[in-house]
Amino acid sequence: AKDEQRGICRAFEARMDIAAQEKNRLEKDFRAAVRNDELEVHYQPLVNLETGDVECYEALLRWNHPTRGLVPPDVFVPIAEEMGLIDQIGRLVLYQACVEATLWPEHIKVSINVSPLQFRNGNLLSTVINALSTSGLCAERLELEITEAVLMEKGPRPAAIIRNLRAFGIGISLDDFGTGYSSLSYLLNYPFTKIKIDKSFILNLDSEANSRAVIRAVIGLGRSIGLTVAAEGIESEVQRDYLREEGCLQGQGYLFGKPEPASALIVPGRRAA
């Protein structure tokens, strides 16, 4: 039994070794990716559920790995955070997306995901203002998507930064709404303009009465305090129709469009670059 245990241990250590090597390789590759311009911003529409019109595009980062193909952000964003590269990546997305949005008709906004770590060094506000002035995009057309994790950051800093961003006219969305906790007090204490109901609730909308109840409550709550309510992960007409009937204003999901590179977007009224 001892031997067997030792064998299991060794197999386990070997697996850990492989995982560590794999991580090492990814980290090395990621550094090269930033240098070699392998990161690409894709855009996914948010549509008005009543009219079907596109009101916003969310910028979603992609890593085009030379041999592995597309590496999803759930894999490389944590790597970028750990390697201290998230500020650099964040700036890249911000600049690219703002420049791209200047080519769209003025009623269409752009939204950008911001990592909690980008709130740490105190440069976020100036980075955002810089991206706006360099691109010429007006602040009212930019939305930043943050998660509750940002609000968990210690100290008054995140709150002050969020208020300053809002004071410039930039929209602030609370992403993945419903997956964290104590969101309700956050909603009243921060100047959010939008909440995005997490796609896990939408996924289970057809099968779970509980998900429908949460969705209905969140829409009612959001609307009653004057926020735009959006839902992500809409894949079916049943989901869309339920959300629209409950008064959800905006929707995003494969039903309306997948994330695509800017060159593949068909934006009515888009100007040539």
Contact footprint for Ca ion (CB under 5 A): 113, 145, 175-176, 232
Minimum CB–partner distance for residue 14 and ligand C2E (Å):
31
72 versus 220: smaller Cβ distance to ligand C2E: 72
Q: Which of 29, 87, 232, 246 binds ligand C2E (CB under 6 A)?
A: 232
Q: Please give, one letter per residue, the 3-state secondary structure of the chain.
A: CHHHHHHHHHHHHHHHHHHHHHHHHHHHHHHHHHHCCCEEEEEEEEEECCCCCEEEEEEEEEEEECCCEEECHHHHHHHHHHCCCHHHHHHHHHHHHHHHHCCCCCCCEEEEECCHHHHCCCCHHHHHHHHHHHHCCCHHHEEEEECHHHHHCCCCHHHHHHHHHHHCCCEEEEEEECCCCCHHHHHHHCCCCEEEECHHHHHCCCCCHHHHHHHHHHHHHHHHCCCEEEECCCCCHHHHHHHHHCCCCEECCCCCCCCEEHHHCCCCCCCCC
Options 46, 79, 93, 131; binder of ligand C2E; rule CB under 6 A: 93
* Candidate residues 235, 247, 267, 270; the one interacting with ligand C2E per rule CB under 6 A: 235
Residue nearer to ligand C2E on the CB measure, 21 or 101: 101
Residue 60 binds ligand C2E (CB under 6 A) = yes
Residues in region 130-169 near ligand C2E by CB under 6 A: 145
Q: Does 175 participate in binding ligand C2E (rule CB under 6 A)? A: yes
Q: Could you say which of ligand C2E, Ca ion, none residue 73 binds, taking C-beta under 5 to 8 angstroms by partner kind?
A: ligand C2E
CA of 257: how far to CAs of 101, 119, 253, 254, 269, in Å? 17, 30, 6, 5, 18
End-to-end CA distance of the chain: 69
CB 113 to Ca ion: min, Å: 5
**Residue 29 or 240 having the CB closest to Ca ion:** 240
CB-closest chain residue to ligand C2E? 253
Q: Determine if 227 is a binding residue for ligand C2E (CB under 6 A).
A: no
When CB distances are held under 5 to 8 angstroms depending on the partner's kind, the choice from Ca ion, ligand C2E, none that residue 85 binds is none
- Restricted to residues 61-80, the positions that interact with ligand C2E (CB under 6 A) are 61, 72-74, 77
The token pair that represents 135 in the structure block: 């691109």
Closer residue to ligand C2E (CB): 114 or 165: 114
Cβ at position 121, least distance to Ca ion in Å = 22
Instruction: Identify the bridge partners of residue 40 per DSSP, sorted by sequence position.
Output: 62
Q: Which residues bind ligand C2E (CB under 6 A)?
A: 44, 59-61, 72-74, 77, 93, 113-115, 145, 175-176, 199, 232-235, 252-254, 259
